[in-house]
Amino acid sequence: MATKEQMHYTALGDSLTVGFGSSSGEGFVEKFRRRLEADTGAEIQSHNFGVNGATSLDIAKHVIENQQIQEMLKVSKWITITAGGNDLLRAAEPYFRDGTTDALKKAIHSYRLHLQQLLHFILDLKRGRESFDVFLLTIYNPIPYAEEARIWVRRFNRPLKYLQSPYITVVPVHEAFGLKEEIEGLLCEDYIHPNDSGYRLMEESLFQTYKQVTAKH
């Protein structure tokens, strides 16, 4: 029997990459790995470096300071990143407390800078290597009935489109969640993180984006 080709997939990010809120704890990462195996016929090894509660700064530092992560990134054909949710949640605290938006505006700026730093670092690691794809997952809105939440989630997601390149693609998770009338059915008991259905929707959005990118190669 012929040996299957081995390929690598690295997941970076926050609690969404960890899979917090899912019944099995696997979230979208393991689901996407299985879809990759079925689609490519290869043996896909996934490397999950998600950290609960991580901000975009934490994620960038985690990668830049960790040689193990860097080695996995070098050999990975696919890389996914979830970031920004904790930046938004922390910056929203003073807004809900006293109505000031300064922290939210600063958070959007720093979020974009940290993502740029992370992506530039990854591209430097991958320079001269075979083709690869980085997928940036947008932030979904867990409280779509609140106008303020809709506005600020859109503002956080807006910079991502300027980070796209031949190697970097944005995954429209925000739009996928926004099409669902009953978003509560996609969230776990904390009403912030996805449940199993929410993670399936994230993975489906990611896989469809992957298929679109693959068709262009």
pLDDT in tens, 7-63: 999 999 999 999 999 998 889 999 999 999 999 999 999 999 999 999 999 999 999
Is residue 193 flagged as an active site residue? yes
**Beta-carbon neighbour count of residue 131 at 10 Å?**
9
Residue 194 DSSP SS3:
strand
In the prediction, which pLDDT does 99 show?
A: 81
Q: Starting from the edge strand earliest in sequence, which strands make up the sheet with 133-137, in order?
A: 43-50, 6-13, 78-82, 133-137, 168-171
Return the H-helix or E-strand segment holding 79: strand 78-82
* Cα 11 from Cα 69, distance rounded (Å): 10
pTM value is 0.95
Spell out the CATH class of 6-210.
alpha beta
Structure tokens at 26: 């696997």
In the prediction, which pLDDT does 217 show?
A: 75
In the prediction, which pLDDT does 180 show?
A: 67
Strand-pair partners of 12: 49, 81
Q: Tell how far CA 38 is from the center of its chain.
A: 22
Residue 85 DSSP SS3:
helix
Report which of residues 144 and 134 the model is more confident about: 134
pLDDT at 175 over 70: yes
Half-sphere exposure of 102 (CA within 13 A, CB side): 4
Catalytic one of 23, 39, 102, 190: 190
Is residue 174 flagged as an active site residue? no
Is residue 165 flagged as an active site residue? no
Report which of residues 138 and 99 the model is more confident about: 138
In the prediction, which pLDDT does 178 show?
A: 84
Return the H-helix or E-strand segment holding 69: helix 67-75
- DSSP letters, 116-164, are HHHHHHHHHHHTTS---EEEEEPPP-S-TT-HHHHHHHHHHHGGGGGG-
Catalytic one of 8, 47, 174, 193: 193
Which DSSP symbol is given to 198? H
How confident is residue 216, by pLDDT bands cut at 50, 70 and 90?
A: confident
Catalytic one of 14, 15, 46, 76: 15
- Report the share of the chain in percent with pLDDT over 70: 98
